[in-house]
Amino acid sequence: MAATVAHLPADTDIATLMTVLRRDGAVIVDNLVSAAEMAALEAEVMPYIAATPTGRDDFTGDRTTRTGALVARSPATRALILNPLIRAACDALLLPFCERWQLHLTQLIRIMPGQKAQVIHRDRWAWGTHLGHVEPQLNTIWAVTDFTEENGATQVVPGSLDWPDARVPQPHEIGRATMTRGSVLIYSGGVFHGGGANVGTTDRIGLNLTYTLGWLRQEENQYLSCPPEIARTLDPALQALIGYQMGSYALGYYTPPLPPGMGPEVIGPEHALGVGDGSTAMGDTALLDAIMEKTRA
């Protein structure tokens, strides 16, 4: 018998969600947004999906497309990035290891008929195998279409958080994240998983939105995917999440390359959006005070 990925209702509370996530490494929240909302998102992004080439290796998939820059391209995606339940889960999972967390990746993954199953892996391997001592990320895959075993529902290995990196899951340890359009798979950077094989006749489209510790480099470079001229039009909360705020004290400031005396010498990244009074500062002193307080505990 194959493993089972737990399902919770859309009105689940954060304590229940985190209990399952910390136990299994993954959980599905059913119908967190409506099918109509997800259909509207699909219509909005389909021109980009249709124009995206397939992958060039076994990992990215020769029958799979991956479309990014969704903060800039897709207003419908922005609301999902800021979903209150997901943000609460990020707080619970990531704040023990950082002062602020950030958006890590936005990507539409279309698995087309004929795609073989992806190799089982951990997403935290984006940073090599150096982060086994912390939880570096929280991930989501929103079902833009229904996820079925036939069309490539994500493979998930519940309970694999504490496994050594070299362990290979056996078939009975692998579950499938089957879910309806508008549902979301929430999983940690440490759980073993991989895209499923599409042996059906229709595309499986998932919206992969992931979040990481504010002191780590993002998988998708949000500053280039959503440069200041676009970012300054966004909700301030989203501006901060994509990186237009300090990651911690003295982490992420810059110096505008202006003529002598024509601008601040040290300023936070929000300055690029015209936010703040322009005064020179290496960071938020409240964050520094909080860090120093932890060192005295």
What pLDDT, in 10s, does the model give residues 92-127? 999 999 999 999 999 999 999 999 999 999 999 999
pLDDT band, very low/low/confident/very high, at 286 (cuts 50, 70, 90): confident
pLDDT for position 164: 96
The average pLDDT across 262-282 equals 86
- 217 C-beta neighbours (distance < 10 Å), count: 9
pLDDT for position 285: 82
CB-based burial of residue 24 (10 Å sphere; 0-12 exposed, 13-18 middle, 19+ buried)? buried
The average pLDDT across 263-276 equals 91
Read off the tokens for 181. 């359009």
Q: What is the pLDDT of residues 4-63, one digit of tens each?
A: 999 999 999 999 999 999 999 999 999 999 999 999 999 999 999 999 999 999 999 999
The average pLDDT across 225-252 equals 95
The average pLDDT across 77-87 equals 98
Residue 41 identity (one-letter amino acid): L
Please say if the pLDDT value at position 87 is more than 90. yes
Supply the DSSP string of 139-193, one letter for each residue.
EEEEESS-B-TTTTPPEE-TT-TTS-TT----GGG-EE--B-TT-EEEEETTS-E
pLDDT band, very low/low/confident/very high, at 181 (cuts 50, 70, 90): very high
pLDDT band, very low/low/confident/very high, at 297 (cuts 50, 70, 90): low
pLDDT for position 90: 98
Report yes or no: 161 and 188 within 8 Å, Cβ to Cβ: yes
Q: Helix, strand, or coil here: 78?
A: helix
The average pLDDT across 261-281 equals 87
Region of 56 (left: φ > 0; alpha: ψ -120 to 50; beta: rest) is alpha
Query: How much is the mean pLDDT over the chain?
Result: 95
pLDDT for position 2: 84
Q: Residue 206 has what DSSP assignment?
A: E
The average pLDDT across 213-237 equals 97
Report d(CA 146, CA 43) in Å as an integer: 15
Rg (CA), the chain: 20
**Structural domains of the chain, with CATH:** 7-222 (2.60.120.620), 245-296 (no CATH)
Q: Helix, strand, or coil here: 103?
A: strand
Q: Which residues pair with 178 in a beta bridge?
A: none
Which range has the worst mean pLDDT, 73-87, 189-203, 210-224, 268-282? 268-282
